[in-house]
Structure 1
């Protein structure tokens, strides 16, 4: 099979296309014929040394956590999946050498989730890191909910920072599905159009002189949940618009590794700042996210593409290095790799 591998951390030039033997799944594992692989910032950052540092725990690693395809073999003890099942994958390369930038990958059965009939492999490959991170960000409020379904966020207001990004896109879609009023902060008219296409009820340009006033006009009592991509940049605005007992779910460090937080404004409203990382949130949270996302898929809630507010940029498998570079250079929308035909 064709596979992209790297044997040392570095820039995208360390990636190479090789021919490898197809692996057999072990106990509790499945093998998936990958149709589409999704690329996220975490993929190029891991390849560059952000996960393992200067060394690697495996002789070779195939990158990319997310993807979609068809189960073509199951290992002993796997009852929940069968050969021929269409699935979406998450965390394929988490503490494993078997990412999705290859024609066939072996993963724990828990990381392969059935893709509902009629849902495309493009959608499946766009879930994983972005959608599961968004799910976690929307379920950290001290008063709940811990799960998402229609009505779970009824009466709540959610502010999604950077609604044109992949996590922001999924957060808008899931929050609206769950019944929230959704505001998204953006930096341009073009990104406002993307956030609106995803389902945001309101968009506010954070570069506006009166972003706080605009958000407060929409949510006089403040926003209940902030899905935050850049707390170093947005700390003051967030403190000004957060509701009493509001939560700020921080999933990225865009803008820097340190952020000064205004103490008194946050203290006066009992604010909660919740940091989150998909790879350490635990199996219970991952399982809940997978189940709720699949339910949302059945309601046609997570479409991708231009009309849905998440433009797709495609690469061939042999061009995986260029795909990583595109994500590192902040390509708008979602970057996908066409691994092989359906």
Structure 2
């Protein structure tokens, strides 16, 4: 089979198109014929060595997320049949094989049925971004740990960077769950994307005082903040947080060190929750995959320009260019065509 591999960290030139044997699924495993592979920032960071992880294996296949068709089932696996359409996540976590290959073998817990009528592009766009968004929306002490229609009814959610992949998913999920959604963006083009995703209010943080604009929309403050740039936004978050608000931090855009005004946060009983999927625990992952599948089945997780997330397609042999596009900060979702 065709696969993209790398044997050392570095820039995208370390990625090579190779021929490999197709692995057999072991106990508890499912083999998936990959149709689309999704690329996330975590993928180029792992490949480049920026994440600080060692390879752990002589050779790796990149990319955590994807969608495809069940090709073979290992012993002790139930609930799947050959030919099932599925989405997959965290394929490269503690294993050498990501989704930038024609066939990938994964634990059955990382393989999720793709609902009827939901395309592979949606499936390959879930995984890390949407599961991260789900976690960010379910850590507040005053709101449910699961998402469903009505579960966030009455909540006001602020999504920082609503045109990014996680921000896009957070807008869609929060809106589906009944929240009023405010998002911040850097310009009119991204504002249009955030609105298409379902944001009720969009604030251009470069066009004035964002805290005042948010308070004008939500005088009592916001209940949940999905935060991509805590170093830059700490003062803004403290200024708009409602009493007992939750600030869920999933990235370090804008700096690696966070400084907090203790009194401002103390007076509103703010809760800061850092999160990363790889160590979040099986229960949180199970909640996310179940709720995301339900949201996708309901048509709440659309992708493409009209849904606020432009798609950028690359062929498998162009995986290096796909990684470069994500590293350069392309707006939208990068997908790699792997198979039919």
TM-score, with structure 2 as normaliser: 0.99
**Where does residue 103 of structure 1 map in the other structure?**
102
Report the 3-state secondary structure (helix = DSSP H, G, I; strand = E; otherwise coil) of the residue aligned with 1:172.
helix
> In 2, distance between residues paired with 1:255 and 1:170?
21
- TM-superposition CA deviations, 1:254-293 (whole Å, max 9, x none): 0010021111110100001100001110000000000000
> In 2, distance between residues paired with 1:279 and 1:189?
34
Q: CA deviation at 1:144?
A: 2.5
**2:19 pairs with 1:19:** yes
> In 2, distance between residues paired with 1:249 and 1:273?
6
Structure 2: state its 5+ residue gaps.
Answer: none
**Where does residue 248 of structure 2 map in the other structure?**
249
> In 1, distance between residues paired with 2:10 and 2:330?
20
Q: CA deviation at 1:78?
A: 0.3
> In 2, distance between residues paired with 1:51 and 1:309?
28
> In 1, distance between residues paired with 2:257 and 2:182?
25
> In 1, distance between residues paired with 2:221 and 2:207?
18
> In 2, distance between residues paired with 1:110 and 1:80?
11
> In 2, distance between residues paired with 1:50 and 1:73?
35
Q: CA deviation at 1:59?
A: 1.1
> In 1, distance between residues paired with 2:15 and 2:242?
46
> In 2, distance between residues paired with 1:48 and 1:93?
15
**Where does residue 36 of structure 1 map in the other structure?**
36
For 1:122-137, list aligned pairs within 5 A.
Answer: 122-137=121-136
For 1:138-149, list aligned pairs within 5 A.
Answer: 138-149=137-148
**Where does residue 5 of structure 1 map in the other structure?**
5
Regions of 4+ moved over 4 Å = none
Q: CA deviation at 1:208?
A: 2.9
- TM-superposition CA deviations, 1:137-163 (whole Å, max 9, x none): 000101221000000000000000000
> In 1, distance between residues paired with 2:247 and 2:55?
34
TM-score, with structure 1 as normaliser: 0.98
Residue range with higher mean Cα deviation, 205-214 or 194-203:
205-214
> In 2, distance between residues paired with 1:304 and 1:70?
20
Residue range with higher mean Cα deviation, 131-140 or 141-150:
141-150
**Where does residue 82 of structure 2 map in the other structure?**
83
Q: CA deviation at 1:65?
A: 0.2
CA RMSD of aligned residues (A): 0.8
For 1:161-172, list aligned pairs within 5 A.
Answer: 161-172=160-171
> In 1, distance between residues paired with 2:55 and 2:296?
36
**Where does residue 304 of structure 2 map in the other structure?**
305
